[in-house]
Amino acid sequence: MADLKLPTRAEDFSEWYNQLVLRAELADYAPVRGCMIVRPYGWTLWENIQQALDRRFKATGHVNAAFPLFIPKSFIEKEKSHVAGFSPELAVVTIGGGEELTEPLVVRPTSETIIGHAYAKWIQSYRDLPVLINCWNSVVRWELRTKLFLRTLEFFWHEGHTAHATAEEAEAETRQMLDIYADFAVNDAAIPVIPGRKSEAERFAGAEITYSIEAMMGDGKALQSGTSHNLGQNFAKAFEIRYLDQKGELQHCWTTSWGLSTRFIGAIIMVHGDDQGLILPPKLAPYQIVIVPIWKSDEEKSAVMSAVKEIRAQLAAAGFRVKTDEREGMSPGFKFNDWEMRGVPLRIEVGPKDVAKGTVVLARRDKPGREGKAFVGRDNLCNAAGKLLDEIHIALYERALAFRKANTAETSEYADFKVAVEKGFALSHWCGSAECEEKIKDETKATMRCIPLDQAGGEGQCVYCRRPAREKAIFAKAY
Amino acid sequence: MADLKLPTRAEDFSEWYNQLVLRAELADYAPVRGCMIVRPYGWTLWENIQQALDRRFKATGHVNAAFPLFIPKSFIEKEKSHVAGFSPELAVVTIGGGEELTEPLVVRPTSETIIGHAYAKWIQSYRDLPVLINCWNSVVRWELRTKLFLRTLEFFWHEGHTAHATAEEAEAETRQMLDIYADFAVNDAAIPVIPGRKSEAERFAGAEITYSIEAMMGDGKALQSGTSHNLGQNFAKAFEIRYLDQKGELQHCWTTSWGLSTRFIGAIIMVHGDDQGLILPPKLAPYQIVIVPIWKSDEEKSAVMSAVKEIRAQLAAAGFRVKTDEREGMSPGFKFNDWEMRGVPLRIEVGPKDVAKGTVVLARRDKPGREGKAFVGRDNLCNAAGKLLDEIHIALYERALAFRKANTAETSEYADFKVAVEKGFALSHWCGSAECEEKIKDETKATMRCIPLDQAGGEGQCVYCRRPAREKAIFAKAY
């Protein structure tokens, strides 16, 4: 398999992506239409993402819990925008234990409703607030066009659900979680993101405000990479989530929800990958370092393998995630290509000469050829590896940021705007009307990704209707 | 709520259990019949169980992955004992995206079939073996009588699925995982277990051999606490999981599966709990230590709270999971009872006199009154707390083991056997026939729990039919 060449990104970005996901054994198609199997290499990447986020959630006072997979159909219908948004996408259980159910059960597409029902029972007084709960689970949305990681019937995610006493606290929570996503994207995934507010059309079904982080993929398209919703009192009113305040008066709570899914793995692939395959950010990579032993004779093998064993132990003890490629019957060159395709950030080559000199060769995944190679003494290996992994993280981030800048145009004329969204992002004044947004979408296929929180530009004219516009927005074609 | 007394275990063990699960906020009933919400306190306990097991799985070369929630109905029907065992319990999705599905989808009751399908695709050669994959997920079985944690429509678990080149390797894997469960039960949960083999009647649908660990609950009943199945070539044949061996011949693989679920939380509750509530084993408890500050005047409060802050930081830095109870308007006595009910193994009391003397009071959950109290200088606190938690672990284990011994009778006469299974376990020779097993079950409600691996006794006569019997088995009423 591994000798088959991937299509280049320039030839066919979509097919490059599809083949890479399969070849790198990140995921596979399931025998159920639109579902995916996340294979061990992909799932370990997801586990590292989970840990990086979970650490941040717990540090900000959140706790995990689990709510049922099944939701009574009537629950989904209690919040009117929610039902409109989700009912076309539901998977419905109608038979249980061999009998037709009196009320069909929906397989959760998201859990605001069933969690709202529980919060109504658990929350009595201001003393019970805030409630700060997160869940790691999977949800099902009946998508028609699917693509591994990016859009699947079942996908894996976390969903946070909080309840607060005041509107201000709910808004602060919503923004805090957006900040956490941005911090995670930049500092763990090396992905530059634009945090911003969604338009009404792109908002979560049932939210007052939806914030998102948006990233530019390697083909210039946008990917919404995490969302945080201020739900106002919409779900609190639909589910009677109320508390007695300090004056003894009954008040509705203010709730939020926020999520980030296995889509994010798609972002990692499409932001960092190149024509050789994946390039995984060092903080999240299942293996940060792969060791490839090089030998010809049995005598060489024995000396090399004994050095490799020591090197591996040394690196593992220092906390690196390290893999030795001991496969027989494959050339070192084949193994180099294979691990490059799988995106391991750092490769260590150990041959008989290295053993004799007490050195190793370190090769960076992100810099091909001589330029990316370093020759390091074994006594300095952990230190050098740590430094290189940090440098790779920064280099990946900077490359992605430079690419985004090069493919983002601040446009005030619609003619320029149309050119810009063919290539990447357009940052333009927008009057805020759903009508202009809709027309832009119809004419260019670009959607309003977000109104960036960072609004340096001041006022101007809407790029479409020329009416006064207070804010600039990002428009792009999107996944 | 917390001033309501629990029923005692002697009065009504079942109701003691139900109320305790709700009162300690481990879990709650969901609005869908038979489903449960695992609340943060219960889920944190489950996370600690997950970590304790996952560490062991990874140390023995296993990796995690995720397979789809939905399984085509035809898959379940491919293995004949499997379909017989599971088809009465299925939840079936018949509608997706508003349309009737051409093939109904089963919500996974267990994943042997869909994983078997994937393995058939992934495994080509002996070089691909063994495949050692585990999944953390939830499954659905349409149970009629449900009880929180013990038997719910949806429950949380892990399921390991491995494929091997030989029968010997598959058997070794099955036994290895059983050993891991037993090691976890004893060393993390402080629960003595009996590892053994199931009878044909109690075997997993589709297995050649099922092993389990069986534990005695506080009412003398048995709880199957983890199972490991040698599936032989049954699933490999049903799903065509084959490999080319070193001679180039096509062979069927040998597969295993093994699982441990949120039932285990039920075991922790029922083995260790007492009339005051939960007693959580220190290695798994969400909070190992709770600090209760004691003060009357504002002046005392300020001195006490500043000491409590330091003590908490000191314990947290040493790696203890510690909680300070800062709730206002509740007496220390109320807090003591509340945390006793929630089963925190160690309580630290800090009052003005303790602050003045630089000491704290440590109170063990498992030993009431004076006997369980220690007065410790703050400079020695971490050391003392660590020692006490270790002692509590051992004491819980020994108490449970003594209880099991006191309620297990080695019986050779059926009359004695019938008395024994009213109280606890009967260990008796059994001829191995399904007929005797069935009659015993009909007459006494006791089922064959397992044939212990440890068979010290030699041969004898079947307790029921008096025919020769090579092995002894454990019989008991069971959850």
> What is the model's pLDDT at position B4?
63
The answer for residues whose C-beta is within 8 angstroms of residue B403's C-beta and 6 or more apart is: B216, B218
Paired tokens of B444: 């006494």
3-state secondary structure of A37: strand
Give the pLDDT confidence of A289-340 residue by residue, as tens digits: 999 999 999 999 999 999 999 999 999 999 999 999 999 889 999 999 999 9
- Residue A79, φ and ψ in degrees, nearest 5: -110, 120
Position B255 confidence tier, pLDDT thresholds 50, 70, 90: very high
Residues in chain A closer than 8 A to B31 (CB atoms):
72, 75, 114, 117
Give the pLDDT confidence of B57-104 residue by residue, as tens digits: 999 999 999 999 999 999 998 888 888 888 889 999 999 999 999 999
* B66 closest CB neighbour out of A38, A89, A92: A38
Work out the minimum CA distance from A417 to partner chain B, whole angstroms. 36
- Judged by CB atoms closer than 8 Å, whether chains meet at A96 and B96 is answered as no
* B63 closest CB neighbour out of A40, A66, A71: A40
- Judged by CB atoms closer than 8 Å, whether chains meet at A32 and B138 is answered as no
> What is the model's pLDDT at position B429?
97
Amino acid at B258: W
Mean pLDDT of chain B: 96
Work out the minimum CA distance from B278 to partner chain A, whole angstroms. 19
- Judged by CB atoms closer than 8 Å, whether chains meet at A72 and B47 is answered as no
- Say if CB B255 and CB B231 are below 8 A apart: yes
Residues in chain A closer than 8 A to B34 (CB atoms):
none
* B69 closest CB neighbour out of A46, A114, A140: A140
- Judged by CB atoms closer than 8 Å, whether chains meet at B66 and A35 is answered as no
Nearest CA in chain B to A96: B91
Nearest CA in chain A to B137: A137
- List the single range of A84-93, A467-476, B149-158, B262-271 with lowest mean pLDDT: A84-93
Residues of chain A above pLDDT 90, percent: 94
- Judged by CB atoms closer than 8 Å, whether chains meet at B37 and A67 is answered as yes
Q: For residues A419 and A428, give the distance between their C-alpha atoms in angstroms, rounded to a whole number.
A: 13
Give the pLDDT confidence of B440-458 residue by residue, as tens digits: 999 999 999 999 999 987 8
Q: What is the 3-state secondary structure (H, E, C) of chain B?
A: CCCCCCCCCCCCHHHHHHHHHHHCCCEEECCCCCCEEECHHHHHHHHHHHHHHHHHHHHCCCEECECCCEEEHHHHCCCHHHHHHHHHHCEEEEEECCEEEEEEEEECCCCHHHHHHHHHHHCCEHHHCCEEEEEEEEEECCCCCCECCCECCEEEEEEEEEEECCHHHHHHHHHHHHHHHHHHHHHCCCCCCEEEECCCCCCCCCCCEEEEEEEECCCCCEEEEEEEEECCCHHHHHHCCEEECCCCCEEECEEEEEEEECHHHHHHHHHHCECCECCCCCCCCCCCEEEEECCCCHHHHHHHHHHHHHHHHHHHHCCCCEEECCCCCCCHHHHHHHHHHCCCCEEEEECHHHHHHCEEEEEECCCCCHHHEEEEEHHHHHHHHHHHHHHHHHHHHHHHHHHHHHCEEECCCHHHHHHHHHHCEEEEEECCCHHHHHHHHHHHCCEEEEEECCCCCCCEECCCCCCEECEEEEEECEC
- Judged by CB atoms closer than 8 Å, whether chains meet at A92 and B95 is answered as yes
> What is the model's pLDDT at position B86?
87
Alpha-carbon torsion (B368, B372, B378, B381), positive or negative = negative
> What is the model's pLDDT at position A2?
46
- What's the burial of B30, exposed, middle or buried (CB within 10 Å: 0-12/13-18/19+)? buried
Give the pLDDT confidence of A405-427 residue by residue, as tens digits: 999 999 999 999 999 999 999 99
Residues in chain B closer than 8 A to A105 (CB atoms):
32, 91
> How many CB atoms neighbour CB B112 within 10 A?
31
Q: For residues B99 and B69, give the distance between their C-alpha atoms in angstroms, rounded to a whole number.
A: 19
* A32 closest CB neighbour out of B72, B88, B90: B72
Number of H helices, E strands in chain A: 14, 25
Residues in chain B closer than 8 A to A122 (CB atoms):
28
Nearest CA in chain A to B22: A122
pTM more than 0.95: yes
Nearest CA in chain B to A30: B68
Give the pLDDT confidence of B100-132 residue by residue, as tens digits: 999 999 999 999 999 999 999 999 999 999 999
Question: Which of A57, A58, A92, A145 to probe the B interface (max B CBs under 10 A)?
Answer: A92
Residues in chain A closer than 8 A to B153 (CB atoms):
70, 96
Residues of chain B above pLDDT 70, percent: 99
Question: Which of A43, A45, A73 to probe the B interface (max B CBs under 10 A)?
Answer: A43
- Judged by CB atoms closer than 8 Å, whether chains meet at B142 and A93 is answered as no
- Judged by CB atoms closer than 8 Å, whether chains meet at B68 and A117 is answered as no
Residues in chain B closer than 8 A to A30 (CB atoms):
67-68, 114, 118
Question: Which of B87, B107, B159 to probe the A interface (max A CBs under 10 A)?
Answer: B107
- Judged by CB atoms closer than 8 Å, whether chains meet at A47 and B64 is answered as yes
- Judged by CB atoms closer than 8 Å, whether chains meet at A93 and B97 is answered as no
Work out the minimum CA distance from B40 to partner chain A, whole angstroms. 5
Work out the minimum CA distance from A446 to partner chain B, whole angstroms. 26
3-state secondary structure of A140: strand
**Domains and their CATH numbers in chain A:** 13-272 (3.30.930.10), 289-389 (3.40.50.800), 408-476 (3.30.110.30)
Nearest CA in chain B to A141: B97
> What is the model's pLDDT at position A431?
96
Work out the minimum CA distance from B205 to partner chain A, whole angstroms. 17
* B64 closest CB neighbour out of A40, A91, A96: A40
User: In the predicted model, is pLDDT for residue A347 greater than 70?
Assistant: yes
* B37 closest CB neighbour out of A68, A140, A153: A68
* B40 closest CB neighbour out of A28, A35, A133: A133
> What is the model's pLDDT at position A4?
63
- Judged by CB atoms closer than 8 Å, whether chains meet at B65 and A89 is answered as no
> What is the model's pLDDT at position B2?
46
Sheet of strand A359-364: strand arrangement: A322-324, A289-293, A346-350, A359-364, A373-377
What is each CA distance from A7 to A362, A424, B200, B369, in whole angstroms? 28, 22, 54, 73
Q: How far is CA A202 from the centre of its chain?
A: 18
Mean pLDDT of chain A: 96
Q: What is the ipTM of this complex?
A: 0.96
Question: Which of A36, A54, A67, A100 to probe the B interface (max B CBs under 10 A)?
Answer: A67
